[in-house]
Amino acid sequence: ELRRPPRSKTSKSQGGDTASRAVQAPRNSATGEVRFLDAVHAKDAVKRMSGFVANGREISVALDSSSKDGAKILVTGLSPNIKWRELKEMFDHIGPIAFAAMSGLSSGKDSKQHNAAVGGVLPWELVNKIKNLGMQQRWQEALSLFWATRNSVSGGVNTFVWNSAIGASARGGAQNWRIALDLLHSLEQDAFANPDIVSYNAAMAALVSAGQFTKALKLLRQLPERGIERDAASFNTVMSSLTKDVEQCDLVLQLLDEASENSSGPDLTSFNIAITACARAGRWVQALRVLEVIREESLQPDVVGFSAAISACKGASEASQAWELLQSMKEARVVPNVITYSTVISACASRGHWMRATALLTEVKNQRLEPNTITYNAAISACEKGFRWQDALGLLEEMRDTKFVSFE
């Protein structure tokens, strides 16, 4: 039951305001938290919901001063028996809700029972539950479970539980980056747990998924000041987001250098991201240099790194370099895939090297890989530029026999 207290006129015969008699004066009550996706709806909730009556109790609604973006409200005067789902339904009509949770009971037997029930869940069980809910895109339930536990267990929850909640919020979509930062801020102020590198990496992942690259980079650069040593995953999260902008290639390479200064150093993924950035920016010489550094660091380049370097050469029409990289790849016993072969064939086509292009196409088929439309079109283009019209027509016919259609 949810209603606004009636505003009846007071008269001597009535003996007082009927609204005051309709609302029970609770001896024990619960407090809830509701987080909206933005501050506008939170303010609207405070304005519209304060003074409402739920289950015979008049509730009070106020903005949570600890919320950095002003999107969270505190609801007091609730029934001790109310569930988080009921709390969420109470505010659903205001706007989109990120999560709703019970902060705990004011006193009495009900409080002890609730605390014991939540406390009976082992930390790792709780972590797995929150993670699984996040992976199922049920992040609202995940955060409600987290807050209910955190606010009800007297000793708080550990960092692993906090991290699972930040991770679940990050999986909820691009709009959740503020929620992830809010959780991180709460963790930094928590009396029972401290943030670790996993906490910050999860928050940066949320920022990156929302396109908040500047904020992610700022957070990455602030970690040493906060006493947190960055790891390869920290740099990889930010670097990978920057590869989408060809103008950020220098920054990606700079971050790779910064990662090298850490005790853990960059990993193979870090180098592959840098090569990809160089390839997209058309800087094939630097791409090959990064590939060399991988070997200098006693790491073994993989198919991703080789393919990215080959792509850089293809973009610059450096067909011979692309061919040589493919040979180096085989010598290193790294198995090329059809994308690798297609890229080299395309590089050969740019220079009209039809013999190498058709030889590679034959090699693809001999390796029992399945050439695709890109592979065939690249080989046909090489034949056309080499004035090998019959070979080009033969490949076109082969495409039709294999149910491929060329649009070139």
Domain boundaries, the chain: 1-106
Q: Quote the pLDDT of residue 398.
A: 87
Q: Quote the pLDDT of residue 116.
A: 32
Q: Percent helix, strand, coil in the chain (nearest 5)?
A: 60, 10, 30
Q: Quote the pLDDT of residue 122.
A: 56
Q: Quote the pLDDT of residue 89.
A: 81
Q: Quote the pLDDT of residue 37.
A: 72
Backbone φ and ψ of 31, nearest 5° = -115, 140
- How many whole angstroms separate alpha carbon 197 and alpha carbon 369? 41
Helix (H) or strand (E) holding 315: helix 303-315
Share of the chain above pLDDT 90, in %: 51
Class of domain 1-106 (CATH, top level) = alpha beta
Q: Quote the pLDDT of residue 301.
A: 95
User: Going edge to edge, which strands form the sheet with 53-54?
Assistant: 2-3, 53-54, 57-58
Contacts of 11 (CB under 8 A, 6+ apart): none
Q: Quote the pLDDT of residue 399.
A: 85
- How many whole angstroms separate alpha carbon 391 and alpha carbon 216? 52
Sign of CA dihedral 309, 315, 316, 322: positive
pLDDT < 70 stretches in the chain: 1-27, 84, 98-99, 102-123, 154, 403-408
Q: Quote the pLDDT of residue 55.
A: 72
Q: Measuring CA to CA, which residue among 93, 218, 67 is closest to residue 147? A: 67
C-beta atoms surrounding 50 within 10 Å: 15
Q: Quote the pLDDT of residue 121.
A: 47
Mind listing the pLDDT tens digit for each residue in 325-349?
999 999 999 999 999 999 999 999 9
This prediction has a pTM of 0.71
